[in-house]
Amino acid sequence: MLGLKSTINIIDNSGALIAEVVNVLKAKSVPGVATVGDEVTVVIQKARPIPQNSNINPNSPAAANKIRRGDLRRALIVRTKQPIRRPDGRYVRFDDNAGVLLNAKKELLGTRIGGVVAQELRAKGWGKIVSVAPKVV
């Protein structure tokens, strides 16, 4: 369960590493608290450095996709430390809170996901993200 000021690891290859939750957008259970499959607004706290000698025109669309520290983006929660109860009675919890960045069309911003994601994403309509993930638990 993630609320305001929670930090999450970004596990896609968009360039962001750590982000801080500033707003919960689609919390269906408890308002203001996000769990697996919920959208949140995040501020990028730590990102991979952008090389200065890259031959990218600053006005091109490729330059717009560069993630910088302080950017405000949307993210989807894919793992939480809080245990998730499955319908068969099992509980699943992960070692960290993690998410992936989304664009305005609610599509994955990166092209890869670098870790496991929860199975509950498929039931909540995020099948594309589940298909890109290397492992689903």
State the SS3 of the chain. Answer: CECCCCEEEECECCCEEEEEEEEECCCCCCCCCECCCCEEEEEEEEECCCCCCCCCCCCCHHHHCCCCCCCEEEEEEEECCCCEECCCCCEECCCCCEEEEECCCCCECCCCECCEECCHHHHCCCHHHHHHCCEEC
Mean pLDDT, residues 35-61: 81
Whether the pLDDT of residue 56 is over 70: the answer is: no
What is the arithmetic mean of pLDDT over 91-116?
A: 95
pLDDT for residue 57: 62
pLDDT for the residue 52:
72
pLDDT band at 27 (very low <50, low <70, confident <90, very high): low
Predicted confidence at residue 31, as pLDDT, reads 79
